[in-house]
Structure formats: C-alpha cells, structure tokens
Structure 1
C-alpha cells in the first residue's frame, strides 16, 4: 500500500476529546487486538512476518491500475505460505477505478473468481488513489463492489487513510450498509513501532482495523491491529469444523473409490420372483438391499461382480441367453443416478397397433397384463396408443 499518501499531519488533541477517544478505542479493541501484517509483491513469494505473535495476513491479489486489471504473481504463493504458517489469511485489491462503475464491475468480475482465501474471509478494497471529483459516484462504486464481494461469499472491507476518505467518499453511507468495515491507516512517523499508538487512532465511525505503522520492524513492513475480531471472519470454529468435515468426507470418498470390495455371497442360481429383495453382504459394510424385478420363473445366474463409482454391479445371464448388469447396492454415500458398466440388458419390443390392449399384447407374449404393464413402468389402467413401443421380454 502507498504509505506516502497516508502519512498523517501532527495534530493537537484536547484532553477531554482524547479521553473520550481512548474509551471508544478500548471498547472496540477489547474484542481482539490481534496484530498482523499486509503483503504485496514487495514481500516476496512467501511473505514476511513482523513477529511470531502475528495472527493474520492480508495478501494483495492485484488491482486496477491505469485502466486495466494487473494481478500480482506473488498472491497464490503468499496465501499458501500464510496458511502453512497457521495464520488467518485475507485478500486485498488495489481499487483504482475512481467513480467508473463499468470498470468497477469489470474489476470484480476479474478478481473474485481468483480469490484463494476461504469463503467468509475478508476481501478489502484499497481505495487511496484515482478518485473522481464526484463523492456520490465514488461512494456508489464502492458500495457496488462491496455488494459483489458479499454476494460472492466474502467479507467486504474498505482500506484508505482518513483524510482521503473524508475528501472523496461518503463513509457514513458505507458504514450504515456494512457496519464496522473500515481499515484505516494513521501514523505520525516512520520509526519502528511494534505496538499501536492510539494517540494516532483515526477517530471515525466504523473502524475495524487500525494500520498503525509502515515500519513494523527495521526495513519496513505494515503493522495492523484488529479492533473488532473481523480478521476471524472465515476462520471461526464453525468454519474450521466444516473444513475438517469436508477433508474427512473427501478422504472417505477416495478410500471408498480405491477400496477392493470382496463380496462374500454373489454366485446365486435359482428361480426368482417379481419384487424379491436380493441381499448382498460385504466385508466392509453390513448389508445392502436392492429390490429388483425378475420375470416369473426365469433362471438367473450371477457370475461377476464389478465395483464402480460407489456402486456394486452384478453381471447376470438370463435363461433366454440375454445378459446385462444390475445395481445390487450402494457402498458409500448417496446414489447419484444409475451408472451402467458393460452391455445393458437387451429387450424385445412390441409396437402397439390399432385395436391392441394390455390383455391382447400380454396374451400374445405369454405374460400377465400386470407383468407387462409393470415392466414398462405403467399400470393396466394406463392408456396405450398405436405406435407406442412396449418391452415384452
């Protein structure tokens, strides 16, 4: 971030006002006061921490400069590095669109799909240069961008200096819409400062993060303090539980996909009847039941079992010489729809002619009306029409 623009003038603050300010800051800060850093390409591919006690990081994904979107190539690796270090990592974007709504929307359409920090995490707009002469246009653009950030599942914030915002943006409108969403910079000098000096706190409504120095350590680095706990966004206990559950689910799915299921009982020969339930027992699960319909009196032999996509399929040979595969059960998770392996069962069809009925077609093919209708997914009360194809074998 461009700190030269944000260096604050030395102010004389009355004792009464300072006492009021410190009460307000203390009230806000009691929620968190965690400290952290923000990175751009100048902090290398892996980023630089100020101290081991740093709890969070903001990494720049890029921004809108001189009429175009320019991503920072260090963003992905910095996010990964911060995550590996166990820090809460968030994203910020240089927002040089001024009051141009078309550029603002194009910028968000470009960057939001590229965000690598988790859902719920902060996406901050770094708005400190390029503002138009219209306060209302600038404000409308920022509001539109923050809505797009929120709609994408992230927590919107606005970064700048107090003087710049007061000159170019209606911050009260922003705060009314998004609460304490401001990340403000204010510091008196460029001496190394490891802790915030609240005498230089940018007193205004809606401040959630105070950037208190650009010389957090020798050589220079931004230092920030979280006053409200906003940097925990996307990193709450519930979010961690969801992430852990997703990891566990993914591992289980991979294990199920790669497992070699041994079917204890699958070679079955004999006469099966309509709607009889076939039970198959596995070594890794108790029992899977699947109801399948067979033609009355037909002999069926199961001579192979195939595991595919969490399903168990049995290859069967019918007494009429036709064969196919039937789904015996689901080994893991919900059924996502029938997935056939190999050659599906062949059928014989009859085309309905004028004057035909369920009774005449069934008699002609040695079936009962109920069997004929059911194997076509219908009942004997369903109307059939000339030209309609029915399965008869």
Structure 2
C-alpha cells in the first residue's frame, strides 16, 4: 500500500481528514480550501444520514464544496440499527441519500456505530449487523468501513487490522502512532481552523483508503503554515490531565432511545432503572470516564448515572421543548441587516448558527434567529 504522508512526528498527529455534519452548519469552498492549504487536510468525510429517516441538510453542499476545493470526499451514516434487517434498511436509505446528495461512486460511506442501540447488543450481534450494512452499501458503488470509539473496538464490535476508523483522544503525547493498523485515527474533536467557526473532528490517515487508493493530488500551498498549525493543534489538544473532573451541566433532556440508569459511572455497575424512549430527565453534572460520556441525574435518595455513548458521541440526548425560528437569506442580505431586523447583535446571530461574522452567507441559506 502506497504511503501518502510523512512519518508521524513524535510530538504531532496530522490533520489529514476532517469530518463535518449539520452541527457545523454551511461550510464554504473557501473554508475547505483554507483547511487544505494552511492545515494540510487531504480528505473530508461528511454526514449523509442517520437511522432510517434523517437526511443531513448540508450533505449536498458539503460534497460539492469539498470537491470544488480539490479534496477527497467521503460520507458516513450514523447507525441506529439493532437488527440485521434494520441494518440493511438503513444501508439502502443511506445509499440512496448519498446518491441524491452527489457522493461519487468509489467514495467511502462508513457506518458510524456508537449509539445506545449498539451498546445494548452483544459483540456478535453488532458484528452481524455491521457486516450486513457494509455488504448492502457496496451495492450502491461505495466502499465500506466502520467508525467507532477505541473503547468499543474489539469490545462492542470486531475491528480487524487494515480496516476501521477509530476515535480515541489521548491526554498526553506518547510519540506512538495510535491505531496505525487501522485506516484512520480520529484524535481530536475540538480542532480549530482559521476561517471556520467552532471545533472540528480531525483524523490522521494511516492508509490511503479514504483517499480512494490514489496518489494524492491535494498539495497544500503553504507548507510552513501546515507545519505550524498542526503543531499548534496538538499543543492545544494534548495536555497532561489528572483524573477526569465533573463539570456543571444543568439541563433537561428527552431520551431518543431507552437507556439504563446506573448506580455509578461504569457500564458494569448495577442498573437502577431502564428509561424508555421519550422519558424526560434532568441532569446536574457530566463527566468523560471509562470511554463514555456520563450525565448525572439527581434522585430523591442520591444520584443515578446515564452513559450517553462513547466519548465522541453526544447525540443520544436532545433538549426537550426547544423550537427555533428561521430566516431565509435573500440577495443583498448581510450579517448586519439580518441581525438588525431580528433585534440581535451580529456576533450572537453568527454564533447561534455555528459561524463567525466573517463567514460568507448565501441566498437560500436558513439561519436561526430565535
């Protein structure tokens, strides 16, 4: 297999690939070009779909703009399946959605397996379901792979060598190439890019699988900036850390799936109750521990603890009772005119849409104004 990158710097993981979804909002060609030229990003993997009904509204624009920036493009589907039949149905839905969004034949369409549905299954069941999804997705002309967390790999599901995209965020630089036998290692979920707002998931590619097995035609124009920005990203991410600490999180959530309430922050601890989908809960604190993100629920006789999924996943819970008012951008609009019209500051308007006031907006784009 041809090696398309420099050897791992003992103090730096590379920003070879970025994955984006509706959480990142609209991403322009200029933003992707900046990622390529200033940070050395080669490939982008965009969210296509989730479960059997959700289509990412930004998938088509992300695919088109990544391609316009001259970068490799792939997609992923957030899996909700618990049975083989559901896996096949979700693969058909993801494949059709990807085709409609313009994901080119030959791209990777990975299954993102980190949901509570998968957590409730045995390793053998997850392996069977994942295999069914990947076999079905290939019928659409896409190459298959599995994304999951390091704590789930070869625990909740089998991830063989020379396959897999693994998420694991180390506290301290060790100088080793994590998950070097897998296709990709996602090493941060908070990377920053110069002209893009918010944090991004970034991965190091350990094979050419996500660059379509071709010799890279993506050449950054500012090699000095790439080196400096990668070093800066690692410095920000890799910090020595004591034991994980609880953070305040006073929120009300509505469960999307059934979830076990545990006596402690361990999946092997006793179960207090099993909350069905639709249950509303209130939490007061959250913590990353044991490969999971946990939230704490105050109870009349103490506390209960719920795992939201692997540390990279915060999608198992959605705020209840939250509605938004949207404004559709028209020709001639600007951050200032829209903000003034809705009684907001430009900064507030941009931030609640996951952007900065320097991000270009386009006619037809929908912005949250309430």
Q: What is the TM-score when the length of structure 2 is the normalising length?
A: 0.47
Q: What is the TM-score when the length of structure 1 is the normalising length?
A: 0.44
Larger Rg: 1
